[in-house]
Structure 1
């Protein structure tokens, strides 16, 4: 896994232009679905939804197909729609990030990467911003769950 400083959306576009690789841009997300789709109202999720306004609805469709309904939220781990991904870090958007959900999301991302060997994933470092976890707590969980596929994941930190 690479960790870079900067904005994940700009970093992914710059990498695409320089290296001509296929890539997916993912944002840390929660499991709350509203009539408008997946709640993506803050942080990196909001930035991705603003860049592609149909994503909350499209992600919600994908989550309903593969996820499990819990008390007030959905557990899904990771879903992809075209070149975009939702990497689950929380159940409810109001809660802190959950390492168990991050492990689940990373293991599902691993399966996705195994099925797409030519793909690279760019996303913010999950769970550390609005999620409230430390990078030192999250990184080992990501490395373990992603295994060798982690070499194709680029994480971004703003600071």
Structure 2
């Protein structure tokens, strides 16, 4: 059922509408990464590293990314080749390798953040405050539901 008037939209209609809003952000972000020849899997790790901030142990990146350490090693190899990440020994334990964004990686993430902020303003800039509050609450509930499903799996 589609949303006409006061009819309650079905889940598929809501998902389609959500994709129409989120799609442009993903497309713009993907285009920026593609322009820097960063594959999707490496882009995901780059975004995650940016969100985590500071140098991180490879094992921590693997755990946070939900992959085995060998996979993170391959992803970091690719980011290093592009000059977006660098490995350094942990000053507290030289057996441990830390990974951090390079200046080039930080600049790329700044570009992604600026694009995201611009698009967010285009999409939500004219939305009244009360609707923003309602949307934020709804998205919060959806995040909790999603997290609960992941922990049940």
Which TM bucket (shorter chain)?
A: under 0.3
Which structure: greater strand fraction?
Answer: 1
Q: By percentage of residues, which structure has more helix?
A: 2
